[in-house]
């Protein structure tokens, strides 16, 4: 009887402690500033937190100020900063949306499986099977930058086709970027991207999820490869894409 009473007491107080912890966590969450727009723009110092409405809580883990320009004439790319951000307290809808940016994109799956004579439907299924569930929190890498067309002609261009962090973590930006703004929301295919007008400057923000199995111990190096520059009217090649190394 004594043992039974002890178990009841343990369960009662254990449950009470869990409730108290949950209330404390909710109280802390309620003190975090909430914003309607993309929350990353409100993070300035490591440790800063902001709640993005209907998405989740963003915490700045690391930031590297770059403020450096890279020219593939007549296009100029200026990288403002590169940051590592933790995303937590995610809604179920956001978890499902972010899941679509994990695993293989359809293009990546096609490049792997087309030689096996798989149908488009089967390749699409391979892509779907490669996706992974998003847990309670996820880390992502953010790049903020701008692109300017310094030339006199309308040009077709996409600033960052591929990016690599720490020499081994590589992303195809058009298919893996979940933040669509400025330079990046114009589509994953060249034909779907809006051309740059002469003298036009466009800002962009890129968000790339870090796989839960990846171990990224700080931002140590960064490089990117651009798209080709093509004439906006004839679509003829103007300049081949190139790669740049960025010192962090």
pLDDT of residue 235: 87
The pLDDT profile of the chain, 248 residues, written as one tens digit per residue, is 444 444 444 555 555 655 555 545 555 556 899 999 999 999 999 999 999 999 999 999 999 999 999 999 999 999 999 999 999 999 999 999 999 999 888 888 888 888 888 889 988 898 899 999 999 899 999 999 999 999 999 998 988 889 999 998 999 998 899 987 766 655 555 555 678 999 999 988 999 999 877 778 889 999 999 989 999 889 899 999 999 999 88
Tell me how far CA of residue 223 lies from CA of 7, 40, 143, 199, 246, in angstroms.
58, 22, 12, 26, 6
Instruction: Give the global pTM.
Output: 0.83
Question: Rounded to an integer, what distance in angstroms lies between the CA atom of residue 72 and that of residue 159?
Answer: 10
Look-up: residue for tokens 């973590």?
Answer: 169
- The count of residues in the chain is 248
- Please name which of 85, 38, 243 lies closest in space to residue 161, comparing C-alpha atoms: 243
pLDDT of residue 190: 57
């Amino acid at each position: 009887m004594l043992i039974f009473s002890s178990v009841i007491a343990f369960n009662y107080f254990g449950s009470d402690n869990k409730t108290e912890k949950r209330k404390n966590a909710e109280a802390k969450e309620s003190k975090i500033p909430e914003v309607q727009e993309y929350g990353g723009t409100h993070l300035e110092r490591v440790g800063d937190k902001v709640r993005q409405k209907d998405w989740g809580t963003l915490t700045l883990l690391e930031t590297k100020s770059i403020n450096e320009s890279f020219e593939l004439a007549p296009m100029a790319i200026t990288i403002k900063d590169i940051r590592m951000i933790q995303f937590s307290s995610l809604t179920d809808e956001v978890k499902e949306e972010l899941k679509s940016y994990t695993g293989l994109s359809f293009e990546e799956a096609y490049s792997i499986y087309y030689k096996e004579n798989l149908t488009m439907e089967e390749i699409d299924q391979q892509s779907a099977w490669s996706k992974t569930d998003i847990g309670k929190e996820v880390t992502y890498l953010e790049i903020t930058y701008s692109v300017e067309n310094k030339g006199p002609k309308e040009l077709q261009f996409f600033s960052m086709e591929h990016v690599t962090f720490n020499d081994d973590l590589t992303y195809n930006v058009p298919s893996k970027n979940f933040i669509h703004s400025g330079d990046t929301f114009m589509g994953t295919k060249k034909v779907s991207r809006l051309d740059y007008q002469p003298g036009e400057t466009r800002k962009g923000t890129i968000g790339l999820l870090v796989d839960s199995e990846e171990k990224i111990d700080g931002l140590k190096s960064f490089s990117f490869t651009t798209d080709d520059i093509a004439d906006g009217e004839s679509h003829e090649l103007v300049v081949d894409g190139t790669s740049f190394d960025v010192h962090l």
